[in-house]
Amino acid sequence: MAQLYRFHGGLPLDGRKGRLPIEPIRTAPLPARLCLPLRMHARGRLAPCVVAGQRVHRFEVLARPEDSGGACLNAPTAGVIEAIEPRGLPHAPGDIDLALVLRVDADSPFDALPFAPIEDWPERGPAELRARLVEAGVAGLGGAVFPTADKLMQACDTLILNGAECEPYIACDERLLAERAEEVLRGGLLLRHVLGAQRVLVAIEDSMAPAREALMAALTRINVDTLQLVEVPTRYPQGGERQLIEVLTGREVPIGGLPQDLGIVVHNVGTAAAAWRAVVHGEALVERIVSVTGPGVVEPANWRVALGTSIADLVAASGGYTERAQRLVMGGGMMGVSLPDDGFPIVKASTCVLVLDSASARPVEAALPCIRCGDCAEVCPPRLLPQLLHESLRSEDIEDAAQLGLEACIECGLCDLACPSHIPLVQGFRSGKTRLKLARRKAIDAHQARARYEARAVRLEREKQELAARRAEAGKQAASRAAIAAAIAKAKARSAGKSAESAREDEAP
């Protein structure tokens, strides 16, 4: 059994998963239209390669990254691009960006244009396999949505498949492991091949009995020494990338560093399965498993759902809302983001649609002054001092907050839970990160403007000096020409004088 370590802070939380881990995954019905935001990945907006009115096939590329790497956006069904228009983003409420509206072909929605399967992938080079993952739109399905190919650029020693689904209410990964364990493991071997890793650690929580049984059976069938199943204690936020690395290896990823700096790469188990389907079966990532749950839903379930399906359609498939439904959340009970309505689409980042009632939603209480108790620091996994961050942000000292590690905050919500003064710390930290980005953007813009001004001043001075030099040179040349002309005139005059004198001498008797 592998030695396990413990990360700083964290709390054991009630999972509140109900029967989701043991109920089979259902397939959501296709809606009439799908809304596909062009800003679906961590690397920004994609550039559409289709136009309104164009018919497309399932798996066909609809939008591409503007630079190398990244991940494409593919058609979840056959249909017609009805519009390219601004829509709201569920993973960034309040933001509006361009989205493709796809009218689903009701007669033949699964009319597909798959990629050529690469069954001999162990004999193919990493670059070719990464290119397939880009074309097939494979990105992180744990929530961060970082393009998978970009995380496969640097060789590593250890690949971790993250199935430690610690967020309350969410069970999409747990059920995926229970039903498709072999695909996850084979996808892990494929990613290991691309990375050149020596071992693959498959991490799940010790409470995931159905997933454990399925993985053990799959490991027996595959029979590869490089795969190792590791059960970690159920403690939130165990599934965080940095926390999981610390638990499995005893090593901490430094603030500002990356797991790759330690020779480690972490991928979600759903991402591994998607990579396997993309390479071996030629299927693009056009659907994902989503937990629809909470006391505000009539019939909680895990759904296999086409990207772009509206939350309203998905909740309707789950029987609709209960009378107690009060708050709609995209994500889990700790890190989820509240949504104003259910018109937003399911995207690659959508792990869960959570509908809370008044009893399950954390009450919004009036914030009291910080009493410096330190409870927030005790539970903070990145070892930050949330109380000091709070004070810096309150005093508008954004640079001091940055020095205190604002960007290292993982927004897990434990400081909010621990605070006896009911201060909405995470809300302030999210706002602070946005302000810090804006401040740095302004600083960069100011630096670039100053550089342009200085470059212009240097150019103008150079042009001034060059003009003066040209004028001086022109003056010298004019003086030289005048001197030459005078000399010539003098010579001519002297010659003319001599000629006149000679003529007079010839005329003398």
pLDDT digits (tens, 9 = 90+) for 161-208: 999 999 999 999 999 999 999 999 999 999 999 999 999 999 999 999
CA dihedral 339, 343, 346, 350 (to 10 degrees): 10
Residue 216 sits in the same domain as residue 307: yes
Q: Exposure pattern of 273-297 as b/e (b: 16+ CB <10 Å)?
A: bbbbbbbbebbbbbbbbbbbbbbbb
From 327, 351, 383, the end of a domain falls on 327
Q: How far is CA 303 from CA 92, 145, 300, 361, 440, in A?
A: 22, 19, 9, 23, 41
Query: Among 86-90, 404-408, 504-508, which range has the highest average pLDDT?
Result: 404-408
Measured distance CA(327)–CA(337) in Å, rounded: 10
Residue 111 sits in the same domain as residue 253: yes
User: Is a pLDDT exceeding 70 seen at residue 211?
Assistant: yes
Query: Residue 375: its pLDDT value, please?
Result: 97
User: Is a pLDDT exceeding 60 seen at residue 326?
Assistant: yes
SS (H, E, C) 26-85: EECCCCCEEEEECCCECCECCEECCCCCCEECECCEEEECCCCCCCCEECCCCEEEEEEE
Residue 149 sits in the same domain as residue 36: yes
Query: Tens of pLDDT along 364-402?
Result: 778 999 999 999 999 999 999 999 999 999 999 999 999
Query: Residue 432: its pLDDT value, please?
Result: 95
Number of domains in the chain: 2
The CATH number of the domain holding residue 448 is 1.10.1060
Query: Residue 92: its pLDDT value, please?
Result: 74
| Domain extent for 195 | 26-327
Percent of the chain with pLDDT over 70: 97
Query: Tens of pLDDT along 106-121?
Result: 999 999 999 999 999 9
Residue 76 sits in the same domain as residue 131: yes
The CATH number of the domain holding residue 124 is 3.40.50.11540
Measured distance CA(293)–CA(376) in Å, rounded: 29
Residue 52 sits in the same domain as residue 154: yes
Measured distance CA(89)–CA(94) in Å, rounded: 7
Residue 461 sits in the same domain as residue 317: no
CA 44, 50, 53, 58 torsion-angle sign? negative
- Is there a domain that residue 212 lies in? yes
Residue 154 sits in the same domain as residue 274: yes
User: Is a pLDDT exceeding 60 seen at residue 479?
Assistant: yes
Residue 313 sits in the same domain as residue 405: no
Maximum distance among all Cα pairs of the chain, rounded to whole angstroms? 145
User: Is a pLDDT exceeding 80 seen at residue 141?
Assistant: yes
Choose between 473 and 460: higher pLDDT. Answer: 460
The H helix count followed by the E strand count for the chain is 11, 17
- Is there a domain that residue 199 lies in? yes
Measured distance CA(192)–CA(68) in Å, rounded: 22
Binding-site residues for [4Fe-4S] cluster, in ranges, read 370, 373, 376, 380, 409, 412, 415, 419
Query: What does the pLDDT average to over 408-420?
Result: 95
User: Is a pLDDT exceeding 80 seen at residue 29?
Assistant: yes
Asked whether the beta carbons of 231 and 212 are under 8 A apart, the reply is yes
- Is there a domain that residue 396 lies in? yes
Query: Residue 67: its pLDDT value, please?
Result: 80
Query: What does the pLDDT average to over 261-273?
Result: 98
- Is there a domain that residue 241 lies in? yes
Residue 404 sits in the same domain as residue 311: no
- Is there a domain that residue 201 lies in? yes
Query: Residue 503: its pLDDT value, please?
Result: 60
User: Is a pLDDT exceeding 90 seen at residue 31?
Assistant: yes
- Is there a domain that residue 187 lies in? yes
Q: How confident is the model at residue 509 (pLDDT cuts 50, 70, 90)?
A: low
Query: Residue 483: its pLDDT value, please?
Result: 82
- Is there a domain that residue 38 lies in? yes
How many CB atoms within 10 Å of residue 42? 17
Query: Residue 146: its pLDDT value, please?
Result: 95
Query: What does the pLDDT average to over 429-451?
Result: 91
Binding-site residues, in ranges, read 370, 373, 376, 380, 409, 412, 415, 419
* Token pair listed for 220: 């027996």
pTM of this structure: 0.87
Percent of the chain with pLDDT over 90: 83
